[in-house]
Structure 1
Amino acid sequence: MIRPALVALALLSAAPAAAQESFSYTEIAAPRQTGAIVLPTVPAGTPDREQWMVQNGLIGVRNVTVPTLTPVLPAGPSTGAAVIVAPGGAFLGLAIDHEGWQVARWLANHGIAAFVLKYRVIPTPADNDQFRRENDAMRNGGTASFAPPADTPPAALADGLAAIRHVREHATEYGIDPQRVGFMGFSAGGFLSRSVVEHGGADAPNFVAPIYPSMAPMQVPANAPPMFVAIAADDFLLAMHPDMPLLRDYRAAGAPIEFHLLANGGHGFGLAFGTEGKASEDWIETLYRWMGVIGVLDARP
């Protein structure tokens, strides 16, 4: 089941839609992003070309050219843990509301410092009518001037690693332990979560949680951190790699992994979007328990 929260979520599927689909949204001005920090992966003065939208009450953004990191910190007691949250959107846009801000607020309400990553994405037509036409064509098996990449683009990877470095370098300011910095992402953000482990080196996170990511093979480094994966059995991404080589490779490398194959929930369920009565409804509670099991929620001096 393809969720309609942001057009790009649907574009990860290589197969045309079963029925003719049309994407519509309402353009909006950029919302306030209190405390957003511009990451140093673009030169100062880089033009900000991002375009914001609302669909089904959820906010998304495309044409991000200036990456930012927005802290969402606990108002009460802190565990000392931190998580960078990367929304999905096929690297063509970001479902920044239900896969970013909502998740960050949940984490902060549970004592975890959260940081929403607005990373750079592949350009799409600035003209909204052209974007709609081309996107509708792509969703229905046609062609467009843009397409989702097969894996994490270099710009997005650079932004993800810069976010990790920033959080660690400012750990005292944020009241967190620099050795308990995690990275989680949804869909394309899940691809990015894999990539910051695969290519992060010393900047790799201390734990990672790709949610409905690509289950394709992975080059797992020797120092790979604990990983939590959740994906629904009816997710089209799972159909692309039904043997789930990601799990095989992580296990073969001797790296710790916890995996949840949810009975249903489709793709793009985020924190709570359309999950009532589905197996994906409370997945984040399971993630929270896992964080406790691996010790990143233990308060430390």
Structure 2
Amino acid sequence: MTKWLQRPQNETPLPLWNEDVPFLEAGDDANLPRLTPFFADTEDVASAIVIYPGGGYAMRADHEGAPIARWLNTLGIHAFVADYRVAPYRHPVPMLDGQRAIRYVRYHADAWGVDKARIGVLGFSAGGHLAATVSTHFDDGATTQADAIDGVSSRPDLSVLCYAVISLHEHRHKGSVENLLGANPDPALLDDLSNERQITAATPPAFLWHTADDEAVAVANSLMYAAELGKRSIPFDLHVYEHGVHGLGLATQDPHVGSWTKTCAAWLRVRKFC
């Protein structure tokens, strides 16, 4: 491709901040938050999706990152895998990294051939919690910021939530809560980050899928989020599969659950993302 000469090289990580990384421990270069681009093979201005792999806020699962980006590329969607910080970093660090990833893509949209009005998020498990968090905690950007990227909106235009952690109260995933908030979390933070409680009319549309017998993250998480979207007439697709272990990713080894990618692609077309 020659049209978008300012695009960075595919699969080469980019630092989300060049300096003054918020909350970064001195000398902790190993945990610099980064964004890895996977540009689709198109000259046209296209949609983009930021991916948050899961891992209980303790790690980031490889199979929920690059393989997902390459699948989105087949749909003509640009994809960006976010290396957001995890434990020992705690809230608000993952949320700030997640928001910054959206701002970063939107800030560079004109130079990269991205439609700044079609930037979504996709997350698995705890990464799904992060995707739901940035979908319910966002702002239009601060024009007074010295960093121009922070002046850009962090609101995603849609979310794809895959066996996502949603609530930090009922049906919580204990490991995610402890890694994100510590062993004795502030009740106010548990409320604020139980994303089914934070949905408003401004929350973007969502595609959700889960397996009914997920023993790690209860399907009730997706059901609660969908129910609250429905109460506010926010468009959503919800798909619950009868059987499947947690953490399937693309689920290529399971013909039934693996159909989620085809179903999600159809929904993304409805939302005019591809």
**1:92 Cα offset (Å):** 0.4
1:198–1:218: 8 Å Cα contact kept in structure 2?
no
**1:278 Cα offset (Å):** 4.3
Determine if the alignment matches structure 1 residue 195 to structure 2 residue 161.
Answer: no
Distance 1:243 1:40, change over 3 A: closer
C-alpha distance in structure 1 between counterparts of 2:216 and 2:223, whole Å: 10
C-alpha distance in structure 1 between counterparts of 2:57 and 2:135, whole Å: 18
Scaled by the length of structure 1, the TM-score of the pair is 0.67
Distance 1:235 1:41, change over 3 A: farther
Q: Which of residues 52, 57, 71 in structure 1 aligns to 2:37?
A: 71
The one-letter code matched in structure 2 to 1:120 is R
Match of 1:81 in 2: 47
C-alpha distance in structure 1 between counterparts of 2:88 and 2:213, whole Å: 30
Match of 2:229 in 1: 250
Determine if the alignment matches structure 1 residue 210 to structure 2 residue 161.
Answer: yes
Match of 1:38 in 2: 15
Q: Structure 1 or 2: larger helix share?
A: 2
**1:122 Cα offset (Å):** 0.5
Q: Which of residues 42, 48, 58 in structure 2 aligns to 1:92?
A: 58
**1:42 Cα offset (Å):** 6.8
Number of residue-to-residue matches in the alignment: 222
Query: Tell me, which stretches of 5 or more residues in structure 2 are unaligned?
Result: 1-9, 141-153, 168-195
SS at match of 2:229: helix
Distance 1:235 1:197, change over 3 A: same
2:38–2:70: 8 Å Cα contact kept in structure 1?
yes
Identical-residue share of aligned pairs (%): 34
Match of 2:266 in 1: 289
Q: CA RMSD in A?
A: 2.5
Scaled by the length of structure 2, the TM-score of the pair is 0.74
Determine if the alignment matches structure 1 residue 47 to structure 2 residue 27.
Answer: yes
Match of 1:107 in 2: 72
Query: Tell me, which stretches of 5 or more residues in structure 1 are unaligned?
Result: 1-32, 51-64, 125-148
- 1:209-232 deviation line (CA, Å, top 9, x unaligned): 111002433310221111000111
1:38–1:66: 8 Å Cα contact kept in structure 2?
yes
C-alpha distance in structure 1 between counterparts of 2:69 and 2:86, whole Å: 21
Match of 1:280 in 2: 257
SS at match of 2:117: coil
1:41–1:162: 8 Å Cα contact kept in structure 2?
no
